[in-house]
Amino acid sequence: MAMKDLFEGSQVTLKGKVKRGRSRTIKFHVNFSDEIDGKNQLEIEKSGSAIFDTTISQKYELPDVPDGREYYLMTWGAEAEGIKGIKWSPDVIQVWPRTMTLEAVDDQGAKVEGFPFRFRQGMELVEARATDAEGMSSFDLTDPGPVRQIIPIAPWETIGNPTQDGRKWEATVRKKPYTATFYSPNIANDWKDDDGQLKQYVNLSGADANLGNIIRFKICPKAENGTKDQDLGMKGDSLYIQFIPDDGNCERDTPRPTLQTPGSIAKEGNTFKSKVEVPDDGELVEFALDLGLAGGDKFELKIGVTESCEDESIKIITWRKLFYKAMVPEFIKDDIGAEDLPAATTNYINGEKALKSAFVEFSLKQWINFAKVDCGADYVFKAAFFKRAGRDLYILPPGGLNPPPKPFGASDERTVDIQLCDIGISWTNEGYETIRPRISALDGANAYTFDTITNKRKYCLPKALAIARKQTAPGTYTVTAAKGSDGVDKSAGTWTALPPNNQPNHPGRENDGKAKSGNLDDWTIEVSDFRTVKITPPVAVQNLIGASSNTKCPVKIKIKFLTCHGHLGTSGGGRQVLVYDKSGPETMASTLCHELGHSMGMTIVPAGNMSPPGLEQPKHVDDKTKGPYYVNGLPLFSGGKRGLHVGPHCAWGIPEKDWKHKTFNGKPGKCIMFGAGGNNAEDKEKKYCDICVTYLKARNLKDIRTSFRSGARDPKEA
């Protein structure tokens, strides 16, 4: 006996043989395991031929499997007329329905359209299909045999097992409810601030999702049990997204924060709304946010399976991060103790008054020590030359040494290279300044001493620092007549006696009665430190100098000295000089923040740095509606120009009535972007004023090395 599986409607060929003799009728006997059309068996007659050993065939179409039966068995045999006995075929045919139906209903018995399922025959999983408007699906089997399983496709499931009644299946089904959830990025906990907001560093780039102004999201369904299950999403399912920039965000408009989705986007007030569809069964929905480049902007992102987007939300706040590399000679590093700026300095820098207010973080990238021998011979001075005690001093001109004592390595647009020193100097634009001291007394060494700081608030330093440096402390260099090489220029200098008017024969007069005068060729002029100019007249003039009397009189000289400022720091093109002074950690901090402020394009004055795009030009001290910004230059009192501090600065904190002051010298500027500092107690209280904060927050800080002046870096929209 052999079992054969066949579909209903298949044709089987019944065969009988006439072995000999005349033509006979063959009678086929067909037996069914179940009643078919009321019968369990039937007979089919077929005439055969009389030819010897002829096979008689009869095609027979297998009847349909009766309702309520999974299959039936069929056997058959042949009986020749007049010959006793039936010859039975060894085959047992198992007959299966070719077409089945599935009816899907919900738990109330209502028909369910669109219930998706596959079914399994043997090991084979057959292509998915879904029920029609009548809740029905009719499907052909590919092989005759039993259907093992009806498998719902997520998010659908069956309630209980589907039941089979012959060729009819019935399933009670429901669509699993799901909510929308964020599938990626996987936001790390340490990317969030104390309020649970994602800190997005919009000026950086990198693999981590919290770097950059664009965040790409993927969202998917979340099952009732709380697991992310993208299989729940089916092609065409709707998900909703809302992107809500905060009302208080800055006005920067390039790039303007936006939502980018594959769906259409509507804007209601500040809120971007989009409806998106699951692109295919089990696929994720992708979209992106552009947060713009400003700092301190807040956003909320909400997603949901309904328009109100109530499933999940993320809060985001934008930050920027900048870095510094510090290069320090070892003898200064020994003073610092650690390989970073003092904690009091970095705390202030990253604190509320300073960078935190502008949503900027500033952190050490690299600390580079170098040996004293690499300082460059011209830049190490005995302390006594600067009237100090202790170790040698490292001084730096504006911008520091270029090239620096050691390489800073590859430059990065978000990193400033800081050279630390003990004293920062810069020569004033005016160069040599004429002074006219009146000498009416000499000291015990027959010399007169002129202090450039007491009298002029300026250092006296030759540009060829070696001239000053080569003297051993307390050193003195003697000024030669050659103009330009020394800190003092006596080449065009003169002296003039000032005899009393009523004494025509005074030794301070020539024979013709004119006051005596001459050049300074015979005068010895020495500079013993950065501020002290020692002037020794020739003996004849020494004898004349004194308070006015019959024999003595004062002498006036005219001489020039090269004016130089001491400063706390300078910046430009990504390079900074910073004076290290451990007694003034907050001064160091506010200086660094001040210079960093310049690197961030502050302040903003006409013909200077451009406003960030989308923001109005701020007001300067000469505007009708006044603002605190000013810049050095001429003519004074126009366009915010004043007579001190190189570069654009901020006079916030100085009473407005004093904004007409020519220089703001000695005025109490309270903004970090004020042009002067150096008193640690005052510097500690300085902050970026609200106006500076507004503009700092709006700045594009992807690059702080290129100038903001031309506007090429942070252009206004045309």
Footprint of Zn ion on this chain (CB under 5 A)? Answer: 647, 650, 652, 671, 673, 689, 692
Which residue from 670, 664, 666, 668 is spatially nearest to 688, judged by alpha carbons? 670
Closest to Zn ion by CB, 493 or 677: 677
Q: What is the smallest separation between the CB atom of 659 and Zn ion, expressed in angstroms?
A: 13
Find all residues with CB under 8 Å of 167, minimum gap 6, and list them.
Answer: 65, 67, 97, 99, 100, 101
Q: What is the smallest separation between the CB atom of 673 and Zn ion, expressed in angstroms?
A: 4
- Distance (Å, rounded) from C-alpha 274 to C-alpha 256? 17
Q: How many CB atoms lie within 10 A of CB 97?
A: 23
- Distance (Å, rounded) from C-alpha 695 to C-alpha 608? 14
Closest to Zn ion by CB, 497 or 651: 651
Question: Under a CB-based contact definition with an 8 Å cutoff, are residues 614 and 251 in contact?
Answer: yes
Three-class HEC string of 367-415: EEEECHHHHCHHHEECHHHHCCCCCCEEEECCCCCCCCCCCCCCCCCCE
- Distance (Å, rounded) from C-alpha 550 to C-alpha 213? 83
Q: What is the smallest separation between the CB atom of 645 and Zn ion, expressed in angstroms?
A: 6
Which tokens in the block code for residue 311? 């499933």
Closest to Zn ion by CB, 9 or 643: 643
Closest to Zn ion by CB, 100 or 692: 692
Helices (H) and strands (E) in the chain, counts: 8, 46
What's the chain's length in residues?
718
- Distance (Å, rounded) from C-alpha 100 to C-alpha 98? 7
Q: What is the smallest separation between the CB atom of 688 and Zn ion, expressed in angstroms?
A: 6
Closest to Zn ion by CB, 588 or 692: 692
Q: What is the smallest separation between the CB atom of 598 and Zn ion, expressed in angstroms?
A: 6
- Distance (Å, rounded) from C-alpha 631 to C-alpha 610? 14
Which residue from 237, 337, 415 is spatially nearest to 582, judged by alpha carbons? 337
Which tokens in the block code for residue 692? 């500076």
Q: What is the smallest separation between the CB atom of 419 and Zn ion, expressed in angstroms?
A: 17
Q: What is the smallest separation between the CB atom of 217 and Zn ion, expressed in angstroms?
A: 38
Q: What is the smallest separation between the CB atom of 285 and Zn ion, expressed in angstroms?
A: 45
Q: What is the smallest separation between the CB atom of 671 and Zn ion, expressed in angstroms?
A: 3
Q: What is the smallest separation between the CB atom of 569 and Zn ion, expressed in angstroms?
A: 8
Q: What is the CA radius of gyration of the chain?
A: 49
- Distance (Å, rounded) from C-alpha 522 to C-alpha 166? 131
Question: Under a CB-based contact definition with an 8 Å cutoff, are residues 634 and 649 in contact?
Answer: no
Closest to Zn ion by CB, 26 or 673: 673
Closest to Zn ion by CB, 497 or 692: 692
Question: Under a CB-based contact definition with an 8 Å cutoff, are residues 54 and 13 in contact?
Answer: no
Report the Cα–Cα distance between both ends of the chain, in Å, rounded. Answer: 91
Question: Under a CB-based contact definition with an 8 Å cutoff, are residues 452 and 561 in contact?
Answer: yes
Which amino acid does the sequence have at 21?
Answer: G
Which residue from 437, 455, 435, 434 is spatially nearest to 545, judged by alpha carbons? 437
Closest to Zn ion by CB, 294 or 654: 654
Closest to Zn ion by CB, 209 or 358: 358
Q: What is the smallest separation between the CB atom of 577 and Zn ion, expressed in angstroms?
A: 12
State how far Cα 409 lies from the chain centre: 22
